[in-house]
Amino acid sequence: MAPERSSDPLLLVFGHDALAERVCAELTATAGHRVRVVWSLDVARVAAFRALGATVTPLDADSDESLIAAGVMEAASFLALSDDDGLNLSIALRARALNGAIRVVLRQFNVTLGTKIEQSMPDCTALSLAAHSASTFGASALDPGCFFALRFPQTTGAVVGFAEHAAGDIGVSGLTVGQAEERLEARIVALGMRRDPPSGAVISRDDGVVTFGRISECAAHRAPAPVIAPAEPRAASNVPVSPVQRLVGAWHRVNPILRTFAVAAVVFFSASFCFFHFTLGKTWTAAAFYVVETMTNVGFGEVQVTQRGPLITAAAITAMLGGIVFTSIFIGSVASALTRAQWIATQGLRRIRARRHVVVCGGGKIGAAVINLLTDAGKRVIVIEPHPDADLVRRAQERDVDLLTGDASRDGALDMCDLGNASAVLALTNNDSTNLEIALGARVRSPEVPLVVRMENASYARATSKVFGISTFSPAALSAPAFAGLARFPGTRGRVRYAGEDHTIGQRTQGSVPQRPPADDCTALCVFRDGRIHMIHEFAEMRAFDVVLFAVPLSQFRPEAGAVSRA
């Protein structure tokens, strides 16, 4: 990193977690600006940020004095990156009040609120880490080859992204690039190590093809998954099981309380039947009728029983009182069973039969955003979450998703999800080890199902991907380049790597006279025009007021071209 010069623009970072650290790493990897972290940190965290090349003002930023001490009056940009939406907004407003020219980049989970803030505050961009990273998680479930995706042109727009496949797997070997693009309805941005290959280039079977376009279920991913029988806990016996043995087994599986109630009810009915038949002289059928009538209506309409002596009268009273007790218990049991069945149907653990569905383990902020993306794409989604929030419960009640209230790493919850017929399993809890445990559990049950795992620890993620061949993504790693780029260049959407080189993804809205991006070496990707997304190859294809998406190699970034050069 180049030495810090007082004349370089100052970028203030308000935050302390993994996202703030990754954003600082992105910013300090480029020259031409100073980076300063504002947060009350302990000694170890101060050392970690300073090791990245950032300076630290270890003060509580929730005061004007701290912001002034940190240099807000001279700063060019202020990035509010804590995990508290309200605190981010409060600090950002205070920074803007102190320095009306400062650019604000705001982390906001609430996408709707973030959009309103952008519309109300000039030179401000609000970005949701959950929504931004959810695009890649959800797109990877639809197309296992997808390695980066985003909503375009807005956070509620269509999902577009980059995916890499072998040419033979997607049926384009032997075709020219132009023919393949027409078949795939996507841009081919790389063929092996060739970036933006010419339309006439012929694709060989072993070529790696990097495509950009709208993300949908990959053609190579649509074939019916093999149905894998669930593992038996014990070896199956060849000895035939008689109907009596089945009944005995079913009887032992019944709740012990219900078994006791059933036995007591049978004994009571038998005793009452004998009383009516032998003591009162009723026929067999009449005796059965009077027992049922007594147990359900409290009485059988005959008064002569009171003239037969105190023992018979007491027996009749016992039959009537017993009828009240057993009838009440029966009605309560039926009502409880119906209530539990309704609860289980919306939340509980029960076996679900489905095909081509997606299993999402973890219904937190990122999980909720991924669920929205997948349901918008028309996928059936099964969610496993031990503590669902009210919104997730409501969606389950409305049959928008199937909800299982269990721990995906325990309780046999994965066994309920018909993994043999699933199209993908996503492990999105906030614990790396738990996510790996879920993914390995899913692989044991269905070796062919694609797995997408959330992992924050970079080295852990790399090792998991290398050893187990599992797609791993970090929300902070996916979002940090976007936050860092937005600090200086509005329109930054993220970063991808293909053809052996990193590329920054940018977005610009054209005016009445379209102009290409300022960097010399850009790849045109697509435009949003008349409510639709159109793939383009040249910037000359742009029209007035189009929203254009493009890729710029980091090696081509120059400060005078409106981009940042590598140190």
According to the model, what pLDDT value does residue 428 have?
Answer: 96
SS3 418: coil
| Average of per-residue pLDDT across 166-170 | 92
What pLDDT, on a 0 to 100 scale, did the predictor assign at position 258? 67
| Mean pLDDT in residue range 511-533 | 91
266 vs 123, which has greater pLDDT?
123
Residue 281's pLDDT is: 72
**Average per-residue pLDDT in the chain?**
84
Distance in angstroms (rounded) separating the CA atoms of residues 16 and 48 = 10
- Distance between CA atoms of 493 and 481, rounded to whole angstroms? 8
Give Cα 384 to chain centroid, integer Å.
11
Q: Using CA atoms, how far apart are residues 357 and 280, in angstroms rounded to an integer?
A: 64
What pLDDT score does 466 carry? 87
CA distances from 9 to 5, 534, 559 (A): 9, 37, 12
Q: What percent of the chain has pLDDT over 90?
A: 58
Asked if the model's pLDDT at residue 560 lies above 50, the reply is: no
pLDDT of residue 297: 63
Least confident of 14-23, 130-139, 320-329: 320-329
Q: At what angle do helices 458-468 and 432-445 cross, to 10 degrees?
A: 10
Sheet containing 146-152: give its strands across: 146-152, 158-166, 208-214, 187-191, 194-195
Residue 187's nearest CA partner among 518, 429, 526, 476 is 526
Q: 228: buried, middle or exposed (CB in 10 Å: 19+, 13-18, 0-12)?
A: middle
- Give pLDDT, residue 305: 59
Task: State the Cα angle at 204 between 202 and 208, rounded to 5°.
Answer: 105
Residue 563 or 471, more confident: 471
Band of the pLDDT at 460, cuts 50, 70, 90? confident
Tokens 């007594």 correspond to 294
pLDDT at residue 3, rounded to an integer: 42
Of 427, 454, 458, the C-alpha closest to 443 is 427
557 and 529 in contact (C-beta within 8 Å)?
A: no
CA distances from 383 to 34, 61, 266 (A): 44, 39, 43
pLDDT for res 22: 93
In tens, the pLDDT along 188-229 reads 999 999 999 999 999 998 899 999 999 987 644 443 434 434
Q: Which is more confident, 319 or 34?
A: 34
Residue 478 pLDDT grade (very low, low, confident, very high; cuts 50, 70, 90): very high
Residue-wise pLDDT for 391-406, tens only, equals 998 898 888 899 998 8
CA triple 297-300-301, angle to 5 deg? 115
Mean pLDDT value across residues 522-543 = 94
pLDDT band at 254 (very low <50, low <70, confident <90, very high): low
User: What local confidence, expressed as pLDDT, does residue 398 receive?
Assistant: 84
Distance CA 360, CA 123 (A): 37
Are the C-beta atoms of residues 123 and 104 closer than 8 Å to each other? yes
Tell me what the mean pLDDT of segment 537-564 comes to: 77
In this prediction, residue 237 carries a pLDDT of: 39
Q: What is the pLDDT of residue 231?
A: 40
Distance in angstroms (rounded) separating the CA atoms of residues 249 and 254: 9
pLDDT score, position 278: 75
Tell me if residue 308 falls in helix, strand or coil.
coil
pLDDT at 313: 67
Is 70 exceeded by the pLDDT of residue 295? no
This prediction's pTM: 0.77
Which domains does the chain show, CATH number per domain? 10-132 (3.40.50.720), 151-215 (3.30.70.1450), 256-346 (1.10.287.70), 500-567 (no CATH)
Buried b / exposed e over 120-157, threshold 16 CB at 10 Å, is ebeebbbbbbbbbbbbbbbbbbbbbbbbbbbbbbebee
pLDDT score recorded for residue 81: 95
User: 359 pLDDT exceeds 80?
Assistant: yes
Predicted confidence at residue 300, as pLDDT, reads: 56
Report residue 249 as tokens.
Answer: 């087994």
Q: Which residue has the higher pLDDT, 317 or 23?
A: 23
pLDDT digits (tens, 9 = 90+) for 372-428: 999 999 999 999 999 999 999 889 888 889 999 889 998 688 998 999 999 999 999
* Per-residue pLDDT, 236: 39
For the cut 90, the answer to whether the pLDDT of residue 241 exceeds it is no
pLDDT at 545: 95
- List the structure tokens of 297: 């209506």
Tell the residue number behind the tokens 């669902």, with chain if given.
Answer: 388
Q: Is the pLDDT of residue 527 over 90?
A: yes
Residue with tokens 């993504």: 473
Average pLDDT over residues 45-55: 93
Least-confidence region, from 232-236, 503-507, 515-519: 232-236
Quick check: 239 pLDDT over 60? Answer: no
Does residue 520 have a pLDDT over 70?
yes
Q: DSSP per residue over 502-526, as a string?
A: EEEEEEEE--SS----SSSS-EEEE
Position 250 scores a pLDDT of 67
Residue 399 is predicted with a pLDDT of 84
The percent of residues in the chain predicted with pLDDT above 70, rounded, is 83
